[in-house]
A and B are shown apart, each in its own frame.
Chain A
């Protein structure tokens, strides 16, 4: 019972925190004063002045999307060059050589798209310069890009009539970093330091173990990197084993705080949507739909992990989990990270029960819309909203409209276009991977579990999650290249059409709300939205999930393991 109570407390704190943060974020993106303004505003002004007056002019959706793509393309090129040339650059005490082209491509795309899929091994392959100037910069930049686009999409969907621009990308980007990500990272890093997470610039320390062996214990500016990796739904850890490492996540408290940090900004985005729409019920409806899906998924994972193992017949599964977290906190973390597009782990997902793997896969395959990535979770969910409103909206006998704007051919076309990228990328990519012999070798398990591993990798990449199931070799040229390309597809084949929808909606007159208007704020709409997500999103993957985790679960029940 105390488990349930503490989970309820966690959800309560998350909701309230998200609500409080949403007010602050709304003020920031609307350019109003906040309590940080006296400190940050001069810096913001100076930076914007440096960029010139044109850099802060209002942008239509095309200009906005172009700015975001150019910014990310430049970031990716820079990161690619840095990773390739790190052998010739300073701050490379270990004298590490440059990465191979496919690996550098994969890593650059991974960090720019907020995926943070790690095909490399951080300690062994990256110089300090690559870590700090490359990855950490992109942890902020990719998160702020997602948030900026999220805000632009909100403006298009919910903005006042007559305003056809979506804001200014550069300004939104800068505000996201200066007012939200940086200050929150500082606070979170301090909290983590208090829990014992190292934050030093010194190198590894030497220790002699009880058995007399030499051990080098790596440390460094861990707390700061962990803070942004969680807040920005990035997930790329300082250490290879990520949140399972005692220096990244030493205590139950640090674990809870980080789980909160993962979901906080995505939750706040739901409420920002309601606030900017001038109708908070709209934001609460989306929050409710996401929240119910989250809780349902969490419940299945918890149930599966607390079950006695079907083969051994006793004990909750602790394989691959940290003793200090146990099954409950590991399940919560797994649910939160796969739902929220955060690639970090505090346990090995590969070792979870097949049903848990099923939920993690579904969380990602829906396109990371259960809270999802910062900004991107909301705009992904808005795609489902467009389809739900269009389908059911006709049933009230009017041209479907959302927040007073008609959903017509153009919006439906763009939504379907964006919608195609999940099945195309995940199913198409994974199918190729099982067909091509050199790719198929990446799956190390056989049978349904092997398929689950491949499916997990492709779902994680296309959905820009970045977490890994484990037990699957991502380090081959085929996988590095294919996954790199699919991360691009999963990010921009959604981001650009959604911005186009927002631009198209912004240009439409806003219809008056009458008793004949389709209601999009009540429990009925929440149910409709959840059903749309499940039927149009999850059902697409039902056949392949049957062959993967479901087949494994069925076999496990019959006493067979893979």
Chain B
């Protein structure tokens, strides 16, 4: 979805208004770190105003500290509001499809006298008749008929899809529209609880549940805040015993700069933005837990068709029989496939014309012979000869003779390599074989290598025989394969992996996938799939694209990395802040401690103010990173750790030294402290 410029501006304005509204203590309390920051900001404001009226020294600095503390709170709210706002535009679009209509309620599937009722009164189990132009009021399942359905409101895909009773394409999503024909449907979700509603709730962040790692991180941040509270509160009596009175504003500033405000302020924005990335990929998560679990996955079960290979086999080579010129074979194969509309047939024509471009020029007139289940052959009858192509046994039946040994070997070789041999015959003479091959999608092999580097095993699931499966598996570079896979085998495989301590993700669509989807730690159902499959899965892909599984894993990992990176950065920042503020506080009592002022900050006031300003600005500066997610290159955990630890750990140590020094120079030049 692209935003126009004014829309983007509106988003910021709205987020800013929301940020102010989120200053309500009742909403702030959900984030302990930012809540205490707001408390200190309030306290500092009161003290600064008092100083201003009593004319105490440095009231101006106190006032500035208070202002920067408030900026910290505001921008934390702003980040969260911005993350929510990005989803809201999409939610509004979705909500527009949720209009109330009158629907045709049936007593039973054969009922000819439907009753008109408002769509918001539907309940699960109700039967409806829907015809061309009708909106599907809520999630339903087709029980009778076939129809084409426009799902663009949900998936953004404009081409209509077929939905029919029975089988794996019976599921209808609320908000989609019938294009042609009519269906009897059974309601499966009460209005307000459909996928659409869940998706709206999710993108708006209204029903956002905190994920397990987020909860744990929040506890850690709260614990650290408590430790720093002890540090600052006890510092007062220690300093007093040294004959030093530290102003409360200074203690407040020290406290806020030490507690992890950066990650505390951005934590929920990171979570919402992560979910938003999923929504952008057209995936609905039924729980936040599933997204995190996706990051933890060790084994991916991938369907061969659609994920690893294009759905169809394609002609790859022509193998003439002994004594047949290759040209004759290609010519015959070309003619025999001319009227074949299947992808395989078309691919033979394409390959033939690639080899002999002149074939396209003069096409002889003949009678097409379509494929029938009886002959299992197709071809073209020309006046003087009959051309046929078909499976090996079908052609053998036609010619009534066994294949010559050389060709037989070639045919077996094709099968062994994972391909499908087709034979071409002229009358009863076999001209040769065509090698039909499963074509691996470009880039798949590299992708799997990446996954392997990340420690994720890929397993190909296919209905092919083990020989074919092994050949494709080797070519695609998967780690394992499951040939002639049945739902039970998938379930067993998942259980076996799990008992070895591995987390498994899979995608599926049919009802018979439901048990495996439920057993998998991350189950992605295709939106086109059956309600049973969708119910069993914890993620639903609205585009019904099985490749999405890999993307989901990446989103999950990026979400966790973003949190960890910003937490590490935030905590590492404390070192520089200590070196800025402590000498400033202590130098009055112990001039020797001025030696700790390794940044050579201008004055105690400028040092404290610089640390507070840096603390606020770094939060603002990291908002884009929080919303976008930190950069993620697939690699092993060791490599990722090395990279992120040096980037965010070492960076977190060094950056504030430079930042605080720069701010100190600036505010000194401006005469602010």
A positions within 8 Å CB-CB of B: 161, 387, 390-400, 404, 407-409, 411-413, 416-417, 419-420, 423-424, 427-428, 430-432, 434-435, 440, 447-448, 450-451, 509-512, 514-519, 522, 524, 528, 531, 535-536, 539-540, 542-544, 546-547, 550-551, 553-555, 557-558
Contact = CB atoms under 8 A, between A and B. Distances in A.
B336 to A, nearest CB: 50
Contacts of B565: 394-395
Contacts of B223: 412-413, 416-417, 419-420
A531 B595 CA distance: 23
B574 A395 contact: no
B561 A550 contact: no
B453 interface: yes
Given A412-B219, A519-B638, 6 more contacts: A390-B220, A397-B454, A397-B560, A539-B575, A543-B238, A554-B595
A546 B582 contact: yes
A534 to B, nearest CB: 9
B593 A531 contact: no
B502 A399 contact: no
Contacts of A411: 216
22 contacts: A392-B645, A394-B213, A394-B565, A395-B565, A398-B296, A399-B213, A399-B296, A409-B215, A412-B216, A416-B223, A416-B226, A428-B234, A431-B237, A435-B237, A511-B502, A515-B453, A515-B636, A517-B455, A518-B641, A531-B649, A536-B224, A540-B227
A392 B652 CA distance: 13
Given A448-B242, A516-B298, A543-B582, A397 B558 contact: yes
Contacts of B632: 397
Nearest to A535: B571
Contacts of B217: 394, 412
A546 B584 CA distance: 12
B641 A423 contact: no
Contacts of A161: 501
Interface of B: 212-213, 215-217, 219-220, 222-224, 226-228, 230-231, 233-235, 237-242, 292, 295-296, 298, 452-457, 500-503, 556-558, 560-561, 563-565, 567-568, 571-572, 574-575, 578, 582, 586, 589-593, 595-596, 632, 636-638, 640-642, 644-645, 648-649
A408 B636 contact: no
Contacts of B241: 434-435, 440, 450-451
Contacts, number: 218
B500 A512 contact: yes
Contact of A431 (B234, B556, B575): B234
A511 B501 contact: yes
Contacts of A553: 592
A515 B637 contact: yes
Contacts of B582: 542-543, 546
A511 B296 CA distance: 10
Nearest to B643: A395
B641 A399 contact: no
A396 B231 contact: no
Contact of B219 (A409, A535, A546): A409
Given A420-B223, A423-B231, A509-B501, A516 B454 contact: yes
B574 A416 contact: no
B242 A547 contact: yes
A233 to B, nearest CB: 26
A554 B592 contact: yes
A420 B227 CA distance: 6
A391 B237 contact: no
Contact of B578 (A392, A428, A542, A555): A542
Contacts of B222: 416
B590 A551 contact: yes
Contact of A512 (B298, B592, B638): B298
B640 to A, nearest CB: 5
B572 A535 contact: yes
> Which residue, of A391, A393, A408, A536, has the highest number of chain B Cβ atoms within 10 A?
A391
Contacts of B561: 394-397
A391 B564 contact: yes
> Which residue, of B231, B502, B575, has the highest number of chain A Cβ atoms within 10 A?
B231
A509 B240 CA distance: 52
A448 to B, nearest CB: 7
B568 A391 contact: yes
A514 B558 CA distance: 18
Contact of B230 (A397, A424, A509, A522): A424
Given A392-B645, A395-B564, A543-B582, A431 B238 contact: yes
A529 B226 CA distance: 22
Given A398-B557, A419-B227, A519-B638, A539 B501 contact: no
B575 A535 contact: yes
Nearest to A410: B216
Given A514-B456, A519-B638, A539-B575, A409 B212 contact: yes
B564 A544 contact: no
Contacts of B231: 423, 427, 540, 543
Contacts of A451: 238, 241-242
Contacts of A542: 578, 582
Nearest to A516: B455
B455 A511 contact: no
B503 A554 contact: no
A524 B645 contact: yes
Contacts of B637: 396-398, 515-519
> Which residue, of B219, B456, B561, has the highest number of chain A Cβ atoms within 10 A?
B219
Contacts of B224: 416, 536
Nearest to A544: B238
Contacts of A395: 561, 564-565, 568, 640-641, 644-645, 648
A398 B586 contact: no
A394 B593 contact: no
Given A392-B641, A399-B296, A550-B593, A434 B237 contact: yes
